[in-house]
Chains A and B, each alone.
Chain A
């Protein structure tokens, strides 16, 4: 398996522009997570999907951020409009829960390094 795939790997954009990050989870995994990592705030969970349905989006910073999962093999995280403080590495992770719990071992993608000028 190719693992979790994220694109682009690097994105440089100007303030005010729309940014779309993409993620393809591991085939068969039914939970998907979006994280943001910065030096100041560490690793933060933004949103979590289970069976394509958003379960917990309490970590989404504000209305400028939105995430979708139209099917089991694709998710997007969109920032519109982008701001310099959104600069971070954004990770996508997927998991296949064991037993009855929705969170278990997570497999991370390589991340997208976003720079907003």
Chain B
């Protein structure tokens, strides 16, 4: 069964706005990661948050993790057209295995 499920499936915003994507998962995890995929390219790692962390920042990215709700959110602030891509969450179980990607959120940032 799929571990990570992103929400929404697609998101369209104007440049400069913030974009929030959510990820829910089903079982206990060791860590949760967010990746970006530009059309026709491989995935690029954005940020990793471990199960004992609640929030992490990296540039314009902010990730939160709520293990009680089994959910995570990715916030991109002051979005740019170059942020247009698909965003995936991925989880690893407590043993660091069973690495599973969600179906992704397709983000479109309109200039």
Known: A42-B103, A101-B92, A103-B92. A108 touches B43 (CB 8 A): yes
Select from chain B the residue with minimum beta-carbon distance to A111: B42
Select from chain B the residue with minimum beta-carbon distance to A56: B97
Point out the residues of chain A lying under 8 angstroms from B102, CB to CB: 42
Point out the residues of chain A lying under 8 angstroms from B43, CB to CB: 43, 91, 93, 106, 108
Interface string of A70-107 (1 = CB under 8 A from B): 00000000000000000000010100010001111111
Point out the residues of chain B lying under 8 angstroms from A43, CB to CB: 43, 88, 101, 104
A33 contacts partner chain B, Cβ-Cβ < 8 Å: yes
Select from chain B the residue with minimum beta-carbon distance to A48: B99
Q: Give B47 Cβ to nearest chain A Cβ, in Å.
A: 9
What is the total of A-B residue contacts with beta carbons within 8 Å? 60
B60 contacts partner chain A, Cβ-Cβ < 8 Å: no
Q: Tell which of A106, A109, A110 has the most Cβ of chain B within 10 Å.
A: A106
B69 contacts partner chain A, Cβ-Cβ < 8 Å: no
Known: A33-B99, A55-B97, A110-B41. A42 touches B104 (CB 8 A): yes
Interface string of A26-58 (1 = CB under 8 A from B): 000000010100000011110010000001100
B110 contacts partner chain A, Cβ-Cβ < 8 Å: no
Q: Assess the A56–B98 pair: CB atoms within 8 A.
A: yes
Q: Give B104 Cβ to nearest chain A Cβ, in Å.
A: 7
Q: Give B52 Cβ to nearest chain A Cβ, in Å.
A: 12
Chain A interfacial positions (CB closer than 8 Å to B)? 4, 33, 35, 42-45, 48, 55-56, 91, 93, 97, 101-111
